């Protein structure tokens, strides 16, 4: 009986392990992943529902400084996020009545300076570009753990 | 669970009321599985012994304190259930009583329901309720040398967290 | 509020429930800085190699969850109240919204109930894999099962990320129903994963459950008889490992459990090995439940709108979390914030088993018994 347990461990010596080499290979995050928020300045009306629902009260309102006119927002007030407090629950995104907030797969938000964790509306409106493209593939019982990660372009469409 | 009578909750309440006519102040039956009984705090041990031996409620799921400063009382609730009798194993019977807010004391139920040991310790620490007869009544969750007021009372407010 | 952090005042002496101090015993603190104790301190009184009695000293991660919950609205409480046991977040979330929905009179539509059930069973598998890796694996020294279980748990986390958007902190069930519907390829990938996971459970059995070293350490250790388990008010897999067939999913069906067909694994011996087996079999039953729920999924809306106010009244709701029966009592007073939230969870109810089981055992049996109880200190301290 002890040989059954030992065989289970020893058989992995002769199989190749797989490691996803982050940051050169990044996993493809699903649509709707709750990373940081994207603010569409042309849709936000400054109603304040996002600040009211936020459980950690990390949203406050400031004036937009991008110089453009926003006719749907007469007082020119837009949300500013404090990511040191945000718990990424995205109740604000779900409760926004005009759809001005959106999900994004951006999770690399670390900074060296604490003040840089306060994101102004203009900084929130930039759409992130560093998305990954690796996803897990099941091989049945072949391969070391039976799961490897391969680029999405090479996988058959399900 | 196939042979549950439709009046099992009323039967339990009636048995309690006939046995303790003046100690049971009121009762309420809600939904399919909830009974709330309000009783006089001096009769806790007798009622608990009767419930354990005659009715079959053999364990305590939790002991809660509720602070009510407007009516100057602290309520103590015992959530009891039965694991040994299949016909009533889905009922939660809540025993509710009122204590004076400036000196809340009640007898400890540990001699009847041993499962209430740590719950009573927590209620003692959070609300200041003294359980007489508890074998080991000391602080459980706060700091070892905390000497402030009991934290869960409504007098303790946190204004930086917003309005309550 | 005054706090006296004067360090010259000594802490309260460790008074145990059972034994008085004798000259031949020594008090040892299996302290918070210990890889095998979790976020708590267990003060053991040893006489040579035997533990005479034990005093659990909890409260190291107490943050006043119930007090803070009175300052947050009904929806804001969801990320707050799911944090005590974050590996089991859906159950803590669901147990809290059941009394709120009862007070507000909101009924979740059937498709929402099925989606909540699938998420809850996936969460049960994830929580039991965490238990297998840490409490049953690392605490007893078996680090291979730690690697295997965490590797497979990550695949379930990826699927939960596809369903809810977050890896561990779901906040998925506000009052009224789930927030999102099933994505397009979720069903196919989940069935693929379940087929892979069933083969892995056979490997776990060979390397861990049938391993003679684990059997020698866990069989006959920490025996809890049926009458004692009932008297101590234990719940969850600890109760089912002692022969009491009790599960909230059968006793008070919530979600979609009334329409699904599954068993409650129960073992009679009451030792640590029986408690290990209960959780293994529960993982297999969860796979069955998820497959049935995916087949029988109805169509229609997933959620209804819920009001913002909690009406006056008191309601009790309970679910079967991975650690036992999780009961919430919510008291409302016609405002948007609850006036009292009382949490009674499986870990706090298991605390009475520590001084009861850890008497006259070897010191080396303590991690096995502690691991088989699956005590989560954060959940018990709130």
Is the residue at C273 inside a domain?
yes
What's the pLDDT at C8? 47
List chain A residues with CB under 8 Å of C140. Answer: none
Task: From residue B44, give the alpha-carbon distance in Å to each of B21, B83, B95, C122, C155.
Answer: 14, 21, 9, 43, 52
CA-to-CA distance for C308 and C335, rounded, in angstroms?
A: 8
Looking at residues B48-66, what average pLDDT do you find? 90
Percent of chain B past pLDDT 70, that is, above it, reads 95
pLDDT score of A138 = 72
Ranges for all domains in chain A classified under CATH 3.30.70.3270? 38-124
Q: What is the pLDDT of residue B158?
A: 83
Extract the residue ranges of chain A whose pLDDT is less than 70. 1, 139-146, 154-158
CA distances from C98 to C101, C103, C175, C314 (A): 5, 9, 8, 12
Predicted confidence at residue C4, as pLDDT, reads 42
Class of domain A38-124: alpha beta
Among C59, C229, C333, the strongest candidate for a mutation testing the B interface, having the largest count of B CBs within 10 A, is C59
Give the DSSP H or E segment for C28: strand C26-30
Q: Please list, in sequence order, all residues whose beta carbon lies within 8 angstroms of the beta carbon of residue C245, skipping any fewer than 6 positions away.
A: C264, C266
Q: What is the mean pLDDT of residues B88-103?
A: 89
- Domain contains C48: no
Domains of chain B, by residue range, sit at 8-155
Interface contact C336, partner B, CB < 8 A:
no
pLDDT recorded at residue C128: 94
Q: Do C161 and A88 touch (CB under 8 A)?
A: no
Which domain does C192 fall in, by range? 65-343
pLDDT category, B103, cuts 50, 70, 90? confident
- The confidence score (pLDDT) of residue C3 equals 41
Residue listed under structure tokens 């080396």: C364
Contacts with B, C 6-25, CB within 8 Å? 6, 9, 11-12, 15, 17
Taking contacts as CB-CB distances below 8 angstroms, the residues of chain C near B110 are: none
Cβ-Cβ contacts under 8 Å, A106 against chain C: none
pLDDT in tens, A30-45: 888 998 899 998 888 8
pTM of the prediction? 0.90
pLDDT over 70 at B3, yes or no: no
Average pLDDT, chain B: 86
DSSP bridge pairs for A150: A135
Instruction: Quote the pLDDT of residue C11.
Output: 44
A145 touches chain C (CB under 8 A): yes
Q: What is the CATH number of the domain that holds C199?
A: 1.10.645.10
As for the ipTM of the complex, it is 0.91
* Assigned CATH for B8-155: 3.30.460.80
Number of domains in chain C: 1
The whole-number pLDDT of residue B2 equals 44
Q: Tell which phi-psi region holds residue A99, choosing left (phi > 0), alpha (psi between -120 and 50) or beta.
A: left
- The predicted structure's pLDDT at residue A136: 74
Tell me which residues of chain C have a pLDDT lower than 70. Answer: 1-20
DSSP-derived 3-state class of residue C351: helix
Distance in Å, alpha carbon of C340 to nearest chain B alpha carbon: 7
Residues B79-105 have a mean pLDDT of 89
User: Closest by alpha carbon to C222, among C203, C241, C247, C236?
Assistant: C241
């Amino acid at each position: 009986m002890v040989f059954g347990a030992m065989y289970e461990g020893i058989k992995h010596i002769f199989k190749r392990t797989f490691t996803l080499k982050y940051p050169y290979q990044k996993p493809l995050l699903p649509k709707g992943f709750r990373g940081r928020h994207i603010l569409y300045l042309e849709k936000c009306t400054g109603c304040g529902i996002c600040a009211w629902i936020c459980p950690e009260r990390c949203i406050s309102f400031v004036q937009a400084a991008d110089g453009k006119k926003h006719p749907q927002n007469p007082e020119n007030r837009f949300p500013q996020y404090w990511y040191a407090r945000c718990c990424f629950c995205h109740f604000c995104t779900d409760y926004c009545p005009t759809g001005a907030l959106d999900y994004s797969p951006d999770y690399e938000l670390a900074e060296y300076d604490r003040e840089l964790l306060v994101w102004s509306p203009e900084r929130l409106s930039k759409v992130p570009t560093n998305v990954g493209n690796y996803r897990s593939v099941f091989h049945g019982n072949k391969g070391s753990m039976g799961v490897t990660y391969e680029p999405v372009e090479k996988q058959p469409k399900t | 669970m196939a042979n549950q009578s439709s009046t099992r909750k009323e039967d339990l309440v009636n048995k309690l009321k006939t046995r303790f006519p003046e100690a049971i102040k009121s009762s309420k039956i809600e939904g399919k599985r909830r009974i709330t009984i309000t009783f006089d705090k001096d009769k806790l041990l007798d009622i608990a012994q009767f419930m354990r031996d005659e009715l079959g409620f053999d364990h305590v799921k939790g002991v809660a304190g509720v602070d009510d400063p407007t009516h100057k009382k602290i309520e103590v609730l015992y959530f009891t259930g039965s694991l040994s009798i299949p016909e009533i194993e889905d009922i939660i019977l809540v025993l509710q009583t009122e204590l004076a807010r400036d000196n809340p004391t009640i007898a400890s139920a540990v001699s009847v329901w041993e499962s209430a040991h740590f719950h009573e310790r927590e209620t003692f620490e959070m609300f200041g309720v003294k359980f007489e007869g508890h074998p080991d009544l000391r602080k459980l969750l706060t700091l070892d040398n905390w000497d402030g007021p009991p934290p869960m009372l409504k007098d303790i407010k946190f204004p930086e967290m917003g309005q309550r | 509020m005054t706090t006296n952090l004067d360090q010259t005042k000594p802490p309260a002496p460790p008074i145990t429930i059972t034994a008085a101090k004798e000259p031949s015993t020594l008090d040892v603190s299996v302290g918070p800085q210990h890889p095998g104790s979790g976020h708590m301190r267990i003060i053991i009184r040893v006489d040579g190699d035997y533990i005479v009695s034990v005093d659990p000293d909890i409260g190291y991660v107490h943050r006043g969850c119930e007090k803070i919950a009175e300052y947050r609205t009904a929806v804001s409480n969801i990320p707050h109240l799911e944090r005590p046991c974050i590996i089991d977040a859906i159950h803590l979330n669901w147990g809290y919204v059941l009394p709120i929905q009862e007070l507000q009179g909101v009924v979740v539509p059937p498709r929402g109930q099925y989606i909540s059930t699938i998420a809850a069973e996936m969460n049960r598998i994830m929580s039991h894999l965490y238990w297998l890796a840490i409490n049953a694996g690392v605490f007893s020294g078996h680090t291979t099962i730690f690697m295997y279980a965490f590797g497979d748990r990550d695949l379930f986390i990826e699927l939960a990320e596809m369903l809810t958007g977050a890896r561990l902190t779901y906040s998925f069930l506000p009052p009224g129903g789930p927030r999102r519907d099933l994505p397009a390829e979720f069903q196919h990938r989940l069935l693929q994963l379940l087929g892979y996971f069933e083969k892995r459970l056979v490997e776990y059995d060979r390397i861990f459950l049938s391993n003679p070293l684990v059997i020698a350490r866990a069989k006959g250790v920490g025996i809890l008889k049926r009458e004692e388990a009932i008297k101590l008010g234990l719940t969850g897999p600890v109760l089912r490992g002692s022969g009491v067939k009790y599960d909230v999913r059968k006793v008070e069906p919530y979600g979609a459990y009334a329409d699904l067909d599954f068993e409650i694994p129960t073992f009679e011996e009451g030792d640590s090995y029986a408690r290990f087996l209960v959780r293994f079999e529960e993982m297999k039953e969860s796979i069955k439940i998820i497959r049935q729920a995916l087949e029988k999924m109805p169509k229609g809306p997933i959620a209804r709108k819920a009001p913002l106010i909690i009406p006056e009244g008191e309601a009790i709701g309970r679910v079967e979390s991975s650690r036992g029966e999780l009961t919430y009592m919510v008291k409302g007073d016609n405002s948007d914030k609850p006036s009292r939230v009382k949490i009674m969870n499986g870990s706090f109810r298991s605390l009475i088993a520590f001084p009861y089981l850890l008497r006259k055992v070897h010191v080396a049996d303590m991690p096995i018994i502690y691991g088989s109880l699956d005590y989560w200190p954060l959940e018990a301290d709130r």
